[in-house]
A and B are shown apart, each in its own frame.
Chain A
Amino acid sequence: MSKEQVVEKDFMVYRCKSCGRKFYPKHDRCPYCKATEFEEVKAGDTCTLITYTKLYVLPEGIEMPPLTLGIVDFGEGIRALGQIMTDDPKIGMKLKPVWGFLRKIGGEDYYGFKFKPIEE
């Protein structure tokens, strides 16, 4: 997979088998009811941008500023942080999770979820 390419992929979160609430990232004990059994379930197909920044002073392993980062909301109390694939982010815009290249850490390539605007 090239560094520019992204593929569609389900964004998985954790659902507590005891209280039913969902969360991301993983906790080994439910933050709400303290139970310890979970199942992985798919978050929604789309999410909404609730805040963002364009980062000009980049950490080592990321090139080409600015890097747009944001927090998205999938509903049901599930939010996530990640790279936003646009130079023109707007609060409230709809995005979808995709999988692709994130950065290098210690010279090694890291891939993961990022968020791509949905064309209206």
Chain B
Amino acid sequence: MRDVAIIGVGMTKFGRLEGKDLMDLLAEASLNAMKDANVENKEIDAVYVGNMLSAAINHQTAIASSLVDRISIFPAAADKVENGPASGGSAVKNGFLAVASGVYDLVLVVGGEKMTSADTDVLTDYIATMTHPTAEYVHGITLPALAAMLMRIYMQRYGVTERHIAMVAVKNHKNGMKNPYAHIHREITIEGAMQSVMISDPLRLYYTCPISDGAAAVILCPADKAEEYRDKPVKIIGVGQATDVQCVHEREDPAVLKSCRIAAEKAYKMAGITPKDIDVAEVHDAFEILELVESEDVGLFEKGKAHLAVEKGVTEIDGEMPINPSGGLKARGHPVGATGVAQIVELVWQLRGEAGERQIKKDAKRALACNFGGFGNNTVIHILEAMWK
């Protein structure tokens, strides 16, 4: 297996992007990443497009072929990758495997979603179709309802208060203020968050991510060729993906994201490192409770202790273990198929020292991205390392 490097990253702004359709977004992010990698005049061997909802809400299928047409990278091999909210992470994993195997030398991975043109209740329903058809969906379950039930059981068990959940939201909004690509540029307070509208008790509006449009892209090549394209290449040193039973009620422990744990273990094993070697992480906070649970289940904090790290400012941009310096899904936004790629784009910027006002204070060498699909039954983890450090 060959080592694989990321030599280019790019994204669109995330948000309610009037006048731009799904293909506009995918093309823009792809061209930004190709430019960053200095491969505008090179032949791309393959493209993987992470997207969940194009058929359901954009009336468009086979979008990977459409993208090739838009950006003229014929005759590149082209596939769409769909894995719910982890479509982006799965697309990067497929790109990684393709380069690692030796089959392709230059691969474009782009994730994108155009969501704001759909009605919210229709969108919520499509997203809820990820759940078990007869044992969950039919009962009226939505993703916020599953997050709320996790939040209640987790808070009760570990003595976590609603205030802690609000603190995570406040931190992510603060980071998002410094990210020009973020959907939400608004500072919030703990009290404001705790008074926001109840979506699914105890889950409030400010503990959930927005509905966004956007796309993000990376360019991959064999690590030993990376410096032929540009300086500061970032190696993908670990990839892990794992699944769990679909129904939340059937999980061994409904307060634990087992797929997250196993995916992380696999990624650490491939990388030959432990959680202590991680300097910064982007985790999938579609709901703020998930930032706590995931950061524990990927091993960055002891189980039930992540809220104490939040209290002490450990997860802030200037803390010892910055989490979601981008603003996370909460503030950067969550164009579903784009998210897993955008996490990696952010971490590459952080490792290169190109994150502007939100640049983390510590000199980071290794970073972890956790992209979570379904309601935690399919998690994709990537571990990145700065090759020049």
Contact = CB atoms under 8 A, between A and B. Distances in A.
A, B: real partners: yes
Given A31-B245, A53-B200, A81-B248, A112 B139 contact: yes
A57 B121 CA distance: 9
A25 B134 contact: yes
A51 B147 CA distance: 11
Nearest to A105: B138
B140 interface: yes
B145 A69 contact: yes
Contacts of A62: 140
B199 A59 contact: no
Contacts of A103: 138-140
A83 interface: yes
Interface residues of A, number: 34
Contacts of B357: none
B71 interface: no
Interface string B296-337: 000000000000000000000000000000000000000000
B1 to A, nearest CB: 29
B201 A54 contact: yes
B309 to A, nearest CB: 24
A99 interface: no
A25 B153 contact: no
A56 B128 contact: no
Contacts of B138: 102-103, 105, 110, 112
A19 interface: no
Contacts of B134: 25, 112
Interface string A71-98: 1000000011111000000010000000
Interface string A98-120: 00001101000010101000000
A51 B124 contact: no
A51 B153 contact: yes
B149 A70 contact: yes
State the main secondary structure of chain A at its contact with B: strand
Contact of B250 (A66, A79, A102): A79
Contacts of B249: 71, 79-81
A38 interface: no
A53 B247 contact: no
Given A23-B250, A50-B153, A60-B122, A82 B139 contact: yes
Interface string B115-128: 00000011011001
Nearest to B156: A91
Given A55-B145, A80-B249, A69 B156 contact: no
B137 to A, nearest CB: 8
A103 B145 CA distance: 16
A76 B254 CA distance: 16
B266 interface: no
A71 B142 contact: no
Contact of B141 (A61, A69, A110, A112): A69
A41 interface: no
Contacts of A50: 153, 254
22 contacts: A25-B132, A31-B245, A52-B149, A52-B152, A53-B148, A53-B201, A53-B202, A55-B148, A56-B199, A57-B200, A59-B125, A59-B140, A62-B140, A67-B140, A69-B145, A71-B149, A79-B250, A91-B152, A102-B140, A103-B139, A103-B140, A110-B138
Given A25-B134, A83-B140, 8 more contacts: A24-B135, A56-B200, A60-B121, A71-B248, A83-B139, A91-B156, A112-B138, A112-B139
Interface of B: 121-122, 124-125, 128, 132, 134-136, 138-142, 144-145, 148-150, 152-153, 156, 197-203, 245, 247-250, 254
Nearest 10 Cβ contacts at the A-B interface:
A53-B148, A25-B135, A51-B153, A79-B249, A54-B201, A55-B200, A51-B149, A81-B249, A71-B249, A53-B200
